[in-house]
Amino acid sequence: PKEIFLKDYKAPDYAFQKVDLIFVLGEDKTLVTSNIRVIPNFSDGAPLILDGERLKLVTLKINGLHVSKDNYKVSARQLHMTSLPTGSFDLEVVVEIEPQNNTFLEGLYKSTGNFCTQCEAEGFRKITYFQDRPDVMSKFTTRIEADKTLYPVLLSNGNLVDEGDLPDGKHYAVWEDPWTKPCYLFALVAGHLVSRDDSFTTMSGRKVALRIWTPPQDFSKTAHAMKSLKLAMKWDEEVFGLEYDLDLFNIVAVPDFNMGAMENKSLNIFNSKLILASPETATDVDYAAIEGVIGHEYFHNWTGNRVTCRDWFQLSLKEGLTVFRDQEFSSDMGSRAVKRIADVVRLRTMQYPQDGGPMAHPVRPHSYIKMDNFYTVTVYRKGAEVVRMYQTLLGKAGFRKGMDLYFQRHDGQAVTCEEFLAAMFDANKVKFPTFPLWYAQAGTPTLTVITSYDADAQTFTIKCKQVVPPTPGQSKKEPMLLPLAVGLLDSHGHDMRLTSVKDGASLHHLTSADGDYTTTAVLHVDKTEQEFTFMNITEKPVPSLLRNFSAPVRLVSDVTNEDLYFLLAHDSDQFNRWEAGQTLSRKLMLDLISAHQRGEKISVDSAFIKGIRSILLDSSLDKDFAARCLTLPAEGEIADLMDVADPDAVHIVRRFVVREVSACLREDLLNTVKLNRSSIAYDPSHEHRARRALKNVALGYLASLNEPETIDVAVNEYKIASNMTDQLAALNAICQNPGNLRSKSLADFYEQWKEEALVMNKWLALQAMSDIPGNVENVRRLLDHPAFDIRNPNKVYSLIGGFCTSAINFHAKDGSGYTFLADVVLQLDKLNPQVASRMVSSFSRWRRFDEERQALAKAQLERITSQNGLSDNVFEIASKSLA
Ligand code: B3K
Ligand code: ZN
């Protein structure tokens, strides 16, 4: 396989001014005709090289005449044309494809009988020959012909300009998209679908028709998605001044989809699980995810579609920015602190391991074999943190100025990350020379902070040291700008006024945006070692460091446990309140793990239990926030902090802490369940979601005790549950403990929900993720269960992906988990390389474990890479993991 490098970028030789597509959709074959107005970008008569895979070329014409066989060559991946006319010309290409046999789910394929497309990143080349790259932007028209009974609804991008009947029970529709776009934003849908219709009036008074399409039986489950869409449209106008630019916005939900959703111009296509919701079948987490992803895809209309990427290395230009935008949207719709906590947890548990492993890559990668492998947590989520840092450095108003300038300069263009950075800095007349390194250097920086108070001088000094660790291909790293947000608490737990800070020789006066004093200072840490001194600090403060997680770093500090309990109780920065609790939990668990490994008896100290209890009983707290504070760091996060990951020890210790907390706080937890039980009717408001979250965390603790009384509570909650949030949480609580009750409850749930595919995915995932001993065999058996289907990505993510999150079973000492995953990856690779490649990624951290496990995992990785006919997708991940 060929590796592609950012440094080799070359502008395309030809522009495609206009593209007219005709699709004749059929059961055995589909005919695709494209008419392209081709304009040379340079005058050197370069060959025209079109990408194309799995296509059967039928005819090829230039200016209406068949192209002679001597003047073109077709290979497995390209159509290579020479002896072209000078100047512009019309190219006509006709190809035949078989969407009904497309199990890769990219290009044009069928899902439950309907036609749909997925083109990003390089799927359009599976539809027709094209310069399949984002810097080729064209105006598209699309004519679709299909059987009218089977496919009554025909959709593509833009506006419907014509439709009508054809002979033999067929009909047609013609769509015209007035906006130029790269082919990865092309979309087509044909099928038996119904729509929920609504409308939105934009800030300039234009009425936009909104339609969400689903199979008829799902119509009742699209109300929440529609509500979310309208909220997102309004939010983008209010916060960024961005208005929708067409009179129609379509969303289609399909059950078979490789990722979450796709932002095709005016025709978003979504994985059903991110559209369909009813209280009975979807959890509060699902509701929030739907709102967030509807927002995300809608926001792409400006950040991604109107301004797109020059090449795929720039992916974070649109994804990091759009994730940041959807995070802010969700924060404004719900609780800002809780959203920030959830996002940081995801970053820590998913991105940090990637950044510390063999697949570590910068937010803007330098090379790739398969672009699909780079739709990563690094590009998306670390990318969003980079965007957030601009806002932390420039302030909200400064960030908005930068966004305005970005659109003013680049609307309609395909650009790079430099151009975004330049707009941000130019609009604010600043230069931060080490900030661009965030795009180029991989690895999570470690920021070590040592503090000291000088009572005589009334100064408080913060000494910083940053280390960016080496990563594959990057042994040496430069220090980069880390915005470090700091607050200082006085002995009452109040924020001190921060008036000035010395950075080396220069003194900075600190004021808030409105010119008043500030209580949070953003220090610019941009050297390997650096010292900041706060002046006029009248008593020894407790520092609150990295407020709101102002930079994606690993913070190591000399803050004591006593200080952490103080911060947990008092910090005005809600994120850091939670973080203080997490830091305490991490320290506690790591200490207990060492003790356990030394064979000592372990115990949880009473200060920790007291801290947890004070959160549980603090009625002034947002209950969702309290629920987060009561949730201990996941096993994976703890294992990630060890020199050699020991999944068994981590599991034993975490479980021990959970049981100790439960035993000590039994009555308080029982009360929490009682007091926060849902009223009979489901209420989606924040207040009620928060009550459910707190109740269900308490329920999980209680069930861990595996005592008749606490189990009865969980069984009762299961029985009276009026919604999926409560029902699933109760089932989860019960299923912690192996035995008859567990099997009976799982069977009961199955009987109730077997007709609901999305609920069945939860049932699969719950079993797959289970910590019960020897679960590999259960999961293997589930492969043959009617609720599973290896061709449906959601089911694979639930069962196989779910299994890999259970450290003790996936990393079972006998290697059975590794063999299982390799078996599945090899089977899956033939059907759907993108999904197979996501699954094989679970192997990538194999070097973190003990030698026996390393040997077992390595053997399976080698078994995979030695397979004939392996996809480039899986090859890239597996071989880089072994390197
Ligand atoms: N842009 C798409 C992702 C496409 C993934 C292709 N393998 C969804 C999103 O991030 O909005
Ligand atoms: Zn996106």
Q: Which ligand is nearest to the CA of 118?
A: 1
Answer yes or no: is the C-beta of 635 below 6 A from any ligand 1 atom: no
pLDDT band at 438 (very low <50, low <70, confident <90, very high): very high
**Residue 315 CA, ligand 1 centroid: distance in Å:** 10
427 shares its domain with 451 = no
pLDDT digits (tens, 9 = 90+) for 585-613: 999 999 999 999 999 999 999 999 999 99
Radius of gyration of the chain (CA): 28
434 shares its domain with 454 = no
Atom of ligand 1 at shortest range from CA of 304: 1
Q: Is 517 part of any domain?
A: yes
What residues have CB less than 8 Å from 439, skipping those under 6 apart? 316, 362, 363, 364, 386, 417, 421
Answer yes or no: is the C-beta of 51 below 6 A from any ligand 1 atom: no
pLDDT digits (tens, 9 = 90+) for 210-265: 999 999 999 999 999 999 999 999 999 999 999 999 999 999 999 999 999 999 99
Q: Whose CA is nearest to atom 7 of ligand 1?
A: 372
Q: Is the pLDDT confidence value at 514 over 90?
A: no
CATH assignment of the domain containing 840: 1.25.50.10
- And the tokens for 512? 């808030």
What's the order of all strands across the beta sheet hosting 261-262?
194-201, 207-214, 248-254, 267-271, 261-262
ipTM of the complex, rounded to two decimals: 0.99
What residues have CB less than 8 Å from 614, skipping those under 6 apart? 568, 569
Q: What is the mean pLDDT of residues 152-170?
A: 98
CA distances for 109 relative to 158, 191, 254, angstroms: 21, 12, 11
CA distances for 291 relative to 69, 253, 380, 726, angstroms: 53, 14, 18, 20
Nearest-angstrom CA–CA distance, 70 and 56 = 18
pLDDT number for residue 768: 98
Pocket test for ligand 1, best of 185, 319, 323, 371 (most atoms within 8 A of CB): 319
CATH assignment of the domain containing 319: 1.10.390.10
**Residue 262 CA, ligand 1 centroid: distance in Å:** 5
880 shares its domain with 826 = yes
Answer yes or no: is the C-beta of 296 below 6 A from any ligand 1 atom: yes
Q: Which ligand is nearest to the CA of 325?
A: 2
SS3 88: coil
pLDDT number for residue 678: 78
Residue ranges of E strands in 192-245: 194-201, 207-214
Q: Is 745 part of any domain?
A: no
- The alpha carbon torsion through 545, 548, 554, 559 (nearest 10 deg) reads 30
Atom of ligand 1 at shortest range from CA of 260: 8
Atom of ligand 1 at shortest range from CA of 372: 7
Contact by Cβ (8 Å): 615, 581: yes
Q: Is the pLDDT confidence value at 343 over 90?
A: yes
412 shares its domain with 354 = yes
pLDDT number for residue 511: 84
Please, what's the largest Cα pairwise distance for the chain?
Answer: 94
Which stretch of 38-47, 116-125, 134-143, 437-446 has the lowest confidence by average pLDDT? 38-47
Answer yes or no: is the C-beta of 121 below 6 A from any ligand 1 atom: yes
Atom of ligand 1 at shortest range from CA of 300: 11
Answer yes or no: is the C-beta of 297 below 6 A from any ligand 1 atom: yes
Asked about 120 being catalytic, the answer comes back as no
Q: Is 875 part of any domain?
A: yes
Pocket test for ligand 1, best of 122, 303, 375, 838 (most atoms within 8 A of CB): 375
Q: Is 563 part of any domain?
A: no
**Residue 784 CA, ligand 1 centroid: distance in Å:** 30
**Residue 425 CA, ligand 1 centroid: distance in Å:** 28
Nearest-angstrom CA–CA distance, 51 and 125 = 6
Nearest-angstrom CA–CA distance, 59 and 67 = 9
CA distances for 497 relative to 353, 487, 862, angstroms: 38, 9, 59
Q: What is the mean pLDDT of residues 21-32?
A: 99
pLDDT number for residue 398: 97
423 shares its domain with 535 = no
Which stretch of 464-468, 470-474, 502-506 has the lowest confidence by average pLDDT? 502-506
Answer yes or no: is the C-beta of 119 below 6 A from any ligand 1 atom: no
A 10 A CB-CB count for 801 gives 20
Q: Whose CA is nearest to atom 1 of ligand 1?
A: 262
Domain total of the chain:
4
Answer yes or no: is the C-beta of 319 below 6 A from any ligand 1 atom: yes
pLDDT number for residue 260: 98
pLDDT number for residue 296: 99
pLDDT band at 504 (very low <50, low <70, confident <90, very high): confident
What residues have CB less than 8 Å from 238, skipping those under 6 apart? none
434 shares its domain with 466 = no
Q: At what angle do helices 417-428 and 315-333 cross, to 10 degrees?
A: 60
Domain encompassing residue 361: 308-440
pLDDT digits (tens, 9 = 90+) for 519-574: 999 999 999 999 999 999 999 999 999 999 999 999 999 999 999 999 999 999 99
96 shares its domain with 154 = yes
* Of residues 100, 318, 62, 57, the one with CA closest to residue 191: 100
pLDDT digits (tens, 9 = 90+) for 780-802: 999 999 999 999 999 999 999 99
Q: Which ligand is nearest to the CA of 187?
A: 1
Q: Is 409 part of any domain?
A: yes
Q: Classify 660 in phi/psi space as left (phi over 0), alpha (psi -120 to 50) or beta.
A: alpha
**Residue 322 CA, ligand 2 centroid: distance in Å:** 6
Q: Whose CA is nearest to atom 9 of ligand 1?
A: 262
Q: Where are the alpha helices (DSSP H) in 376-485?
A: 377, 383-410, 417-428, 437-440
pLDDT digits (tens, 9 = 90+) for 413-424: 999 999 999 999
Q: Whose CA is nearest to atom 4 of ligand 1?
A: 120
392 shares its domain with 462 = no
Answer yes or no: is the C-beta of 259 below 6 A from any ligand 1 atom: yes
Listed residues 415, 440, 465: the one ending a domain = 440
CA distances for 341 relative to 292, 344, 624, 664, 804, angstroms: 15, 5, 11, 26, 24
Atom of ligand 1 at shortest range from CA of 323: 10
pLDDT number for residue 679: 72
Pocket test for ligand 1, best of 109, 125, 262, 290 (most atoms within 8 A of CB): 262
Q: Is the pLDDT confidence value at 76 over 80?
A: yes
pLDDT number for residue 43: 86
Atom of ligand 1 at shortest range from CA of 258: 7
Nearest-angstrom CA–CA distance, 75 and 98 = 18
**Helix, strand, coil shares of the chain as percentages rounded to 5?**
45, 20, 35
**Residue 251 CA, ligand 1 centroid: distance in Å:** 15
pLDDT band at 836 (very low <50, low <70, confident <90, very high): very high
**Residue 557 CA, ligand 2 centroid: distance in Å:** 35
- And the tokens for 799? 């069962």
Q: Whose CA is nearest to atom 5 of ligand 1?
A: 120
Answer yes or no: is the C-beta of 263 below 6 A from any ligand 1 atom: yes
pLDDT band at 641 (very low <50, low <70, confident <90, very high): very high
Q: Is the pLDDT confidence value at 713 over 80?
A: yes
pLDDT number for residue 681: 82
**Given 120, 145, 291, 297, the catalytic residue:** 297
pLDDT band at 291 (very low <50, low <70, confident <90, very high): very high
Atom of ligand 1 at shortest range from CA of 261: 8
**Residue 264 CA, ligand 1 centroid: distance in Å:** 10
pLDDT number for residue 185: 99
Listed residues 176, 192, 208: the one ending a domain = 192
Residue type, 587: K
Listed residues 192, 215, 243: the one ending a domain = 192
Pocket test for ligand 1, best of 109, 118, 120, 124 (most atoms within 8 A of CB): 120
Nearest-angstrom CA–CA distance, 137 and 655 = 55
41 shares its domain with 156 = yes
Query: What single string gives the DSSP state of each residue in 686-708?
Result: HHHHHHHHHHHHHHHHHHHT--H
Q: Is the pLDDT confidence value at 584 over 80?
A: yes
Q: Is the pLDDT confidence value at 847 over 80?
A: yes
Q: Is 270 part of any domain?
A: no
pLDDT number for residue 44: 85
48 shares its domain with 162 = yes
CATH assignment of the domain containing 469: 2.60.40.1840
Which stretch of 96-110, 598-612, 676-690, 745-759 has the lowest confidence by average pLDDT? 676-690
**Residue 826 CA, ligand 2 centroid: distance in Å:** 29
Q: Is 197 part of any domain?
A: no
Q: Which ligand is nearest to the CA of 120?
A: 1
Q: Is the pLDDT confidence value at 682 over 80?
A: yes
372 shares its domain with 476 = no
pLDDT number for residue 115: 99
pLDDT band at 157 (very low <50, low <70, confident <90, very high): very high
Q: Is 65 part of any domain?
A: yes
Contact by Cβ (8 Å): 662, 704: yes
Q: Please give the share of the chain, as a percent, with pLDDT higher than 70.
A: 100
Q: What is the mean pLDDT of residues 838-855?
A: 98
Q: H or E element: which one contains 522? A: strand 521-525
**Buried b vs exposed e over 514-545: b needs ≥16 C-beta within 10 Å?**
eeeebbbbbbbbbbeebebbbbebeeebbbbb
**Residue 259 CA, ligand 1 centroid: distance in Å:** 7
Q: In whole numbers, what is the pLDDT of the chain averaged over residues?
A: 97
Q: Is the pLDDT confidence value at 516 over 80?
A: no
Q: Whose CA is nearest to atom 3 of ligand 1?
A: 262
Answer yes or no: is the C-beta of 485 below 6 A from any ligand 1 atom: no
Q: What is the mean pLDDT of residues 32-39?
A: 98
Answer yes or no: is the C-beta of 375 below 6 A from any ligand 1 atom: yes
Answer yes or no: is the C-beta of 262 below 6 A from any ligand 1 atom: yes
Which one has a higher pLDDT value, 505 or 138? 138
Beta bridge partner(s), residue 141: 20, 176
CATH assignment of the domain containing 130: 2.60.40.1730
* Of residues 646, 653, 649, 613, the one with CA closest to residue 629: 613
SS3 290: helix
**Residue 261 CA, ligand 1 centroid: distance in Å:** 7
155 shares its domain with 179 = yes
Atom of ligand 1 at shortest range from CA of 297: 11
